[in-house]
A and B are shown apart, each in its own frame.
Chain A
């Protein structure tokens, strides 16, 4: 030990001197760079592929969209971005006219003549939306506008020739876009705030081909400096339009947001940070270590650290030693986790024989009653999730907080009675096949489900896991209607409950997003009618009726919205968001001044 101590000391000094000599990029330019940790990574930066939140973050920073969400306003509200103002909509809701801001330029890039970025014109938006319907692009976002724009389907079917005009999507002049819809689509403006709708110059697509995914050429607040599977670096676009920051316009709420240090930014021109370094850290332990070591400024805290971090759960509050160093925001996800019953499976879903159909209905309801949401929340979401009845999650403006919680309240006796009254016995209960992707957490969730069912007398051997190696295989199986119980999550595309009620619309059955293959005539009628309506009390009432029908038919075990704990350094003034604002907040991040106590 005597030998060890000096040796260890010498080693530490040597390491320290080497480590100090080494010029760590973390130490260079610290004052101006914001370092953001993501718990996943995009593989493709083409806006047509921006289906996951990580890709969307980049799309809305590297490219321009016509609209965005106000930085601070909750509930979320739309704000013009490249568009001059909100669209002018014809009285029948079919024609949208949008003017874009003048003098906006793409970043300089070899794709352009002389390498100088040219001005963004209305035709660029038209081209960018057309790309989604070009089969060669394999867009993940075409579904947003599929079957909605006049002439788009014909354009696609005729070979997707970009030089041919689509009657329902035209540039009237350099700055005016006109979209003509087949029938009203009240959520259209929301879709124009998504990364999918980002504006791509045709020259870049033709210049880079499939590698546009790695060479983004947009007119957003940032341009890409580097990108690989571990990290991306964004640099401020020096030519980004100068629009002074206004707290009032962004929906600032001094009661809730005074501690964030945003007031000092009033009147300044974003983007406030010259350099954004995004670290892709999927492993919880590594992400946490990087944060406490000060290598990143922001993380979504891993659930495994909640015990270490939180002094209380309701409301979530940091322990004092963390509160001194970090800001925290407990953010309810804009989506839900639920388990679909496959209604096209006659063992548990709809059945041509009315008696059996009624018995299957009772079986599904018994399973719903046996499911213990409180325990699910406690064990897998640290008790911070928000359990709610039905399919309209709290993140939507149409959410009804006064809904009866009976649907998500466990009642073992009632579940048992339902089985007995409908002639279900241990012998004739069907084998339940619970789909899951191979993984520890998924398997634990299955075992928990099995234990819930055991409590109502369901034989354990009749609850079987249907395990898939990858999510792709699982998706293929449930899209092919091969899975009886499908546990999945749904992240909303826009703050409108239409986005979740469409999950149970009959014509959207698999391979569509109605994984339950639920098909109720009354529900379908309500959906068709409400889908054409602007937000109103009548429409909300119709959504609530649809929600009720799903619960009455016991088509799903639903649901929970998870709470995310977002942590960031006190010397970063910002309000991070993983929901609809998403990556738009990057332009408002200000690194430097110590903020709020």
Chain B
């Protein structure tokens, strides 16, 4: 219990640190909205008035404390660009992004684990070389090229023209499949190379350990060895990679996909907030990302202990987690 309380305390400090750093960046290096909110031929008085309304004339500490207060009460204000309540913006866009990226994220990881296990088991042989080669090829391709290529191939008369180039008018599984298929395929292709390479390295290292040779000597089947011994003992790095990808996948990883496929998700909203200097939206997204990372870290700690009894024991003995 004390361990988790300590973790939560550390997490709060982390949130304050992240929000402070990002607030400094937003305030001092973020776009200036003043002239975007003024008409043509503004007077100096009108400029000052807008700067006052935006809070640009207030001391940094005061603005930061207001920001923390807004986060604590979830009173996130209104978007400077659209006038929409920031809470409504997030409530509208986050589910779209989750529906968009989760299938690709899960498939990209599950397929990579399967391919990596195959490559690790056949290490140094033809199958390993093929999988590794394709992974490197996948890593070398730009995300943009994959998107544009798949659009041309699957969504236009130059290819099979079965899916829409863009859009997100989802009202059931049929329309969901119709709109999500090509974006999901793009996400799977782009993530498969990186994931496969990473997981292969982890599995190869694990497969070289003594207990694996023992299992082989006992005559255990390849499937049993790879799943019950190699995979189970590789869970710590797997959990780290998967969990810590989630906040980035949700917020920034979906940016290109949402932009090119015309999907109104949180990635696109964040990008527009950055370019427009829409600080209320930006502050909320930054805070959300920071909180997501903290939650993910807590979840990772919990899962490490679940999968690796040595950590549980170390905590019980009074030490810390050693992952």
Contacts and interface: CB of A to CB of B under 8 A. Distances in A.
A211 interface: yes
Q: Could you say which of B41, B156, B163 has the most chain A C-beta atoms within 10 Å of its C-beta?
A: B41
B64 interface: no
B219 interface: no
Interface string B137-165: 00000000000100110111110111111
B83 A142 contact: no
> Contact residue range for chain B?
35 or more
Interface in A389-446: none
A44 B89 CA distance: 13
Contacts of A242: none
B3 interface: no
B178 A19 contact: yes
B160 A15 contact: yes
Contact of B35 (A21, A26, A475): A475
B82 interface: yes
B158 to A, nearest CB: 8
Interface in A222-240: 228-231
Given A210-B83, A230-B263, A281-B166, A22 B177 contact: yes
B161 A293 contact: yes
Nearest to A140: B39
Interface string A306-335: 000000000000000000000000000000
Interface stretch (A58-66, A348-356, A465-473, A518-526): A465-473
A344 to B, nearest CB: 15
A502 B41 CA distance: 10
Given A22-B178, A472-B33, A512-B42, A286 B164 contact: no
A46 B78 CA distance: 14
B268 A473 contact: no
A328 B67 CA distance: 51
B36 interface: yes
Interface in A123-156: 135, 138-144, 146
Interface stretch (B15-23, B272-280, B291-299): B272-280
Contacts of B172: 23
A408 B307 CA distance: 74
A214 B84 contact: yes
Nearest to A25: B169
Interface in B299-320: none
Nearest to B39: A143
B247 interface: no
A214 to B, nearest CB: 5
B35 to A, nearest CB: 4
A469 B31 contact: yes
Contacts of B198: none
A230 B277 contact: no
A24 B168 CA distance: 10
Contacts of B174: 18, 21-23
A432 B83 CA distance: 40
B73 interface: no
B97 to A, nearest CB: 12
B259 interface: yes
Nearest to A512: B41
A230 B264 contact: yes
Contacts of A229: 264, 268-269, 272
A258 interface: no
Contacts of A283: 259-260
A44 B82 contact: yes
Contacts of A188: none
Interface in A276-290: 279-283, 285-286, 289-290
A513 B157 CA distance: 46
A282 B166 CA distance: 12
B185 to A, nearest CB: 10
A479 interface: yes
A213 interface: yes
B33 A279 contact: no
A391 to B, nearest CB: 15
A214 B40 contact: no
Contacts of A212: 83
B207 to A, nearest CB: 29
Contacts of A139: 39
B50 interface: yes
Nearest to B77: A210
B81 A44 contact: yes
B13 interface: no
Contacts of A470: 31, 275, 277
A18 B181 CA distance: 10
A295 B36 contact: no
B32 A19 contact: no
A535 interface: no
Contact of B42 (A23, A231, A511): A511
9 contacts: A15-B162, A22-B175, A43-B272, A228-B92, A289-B148, A289-B156, A511-B43, A512-B40, A512-B42
Given A24-B164, A289-B151, 8 more contacts: A22-B177, A141-B39, A230-B263, A231-B262, A292-B158, A293-B157, A472-B31, A512-B40
Interface of A: 12, 15-16, 18-19, 21-26, 43-44, 46, 51, 135, 138-144, 146, 210-214, 228-231, 279-283, 285-286, 289-290, 292-295, 469-473, 475-476, 479, 502, 508, 511-513
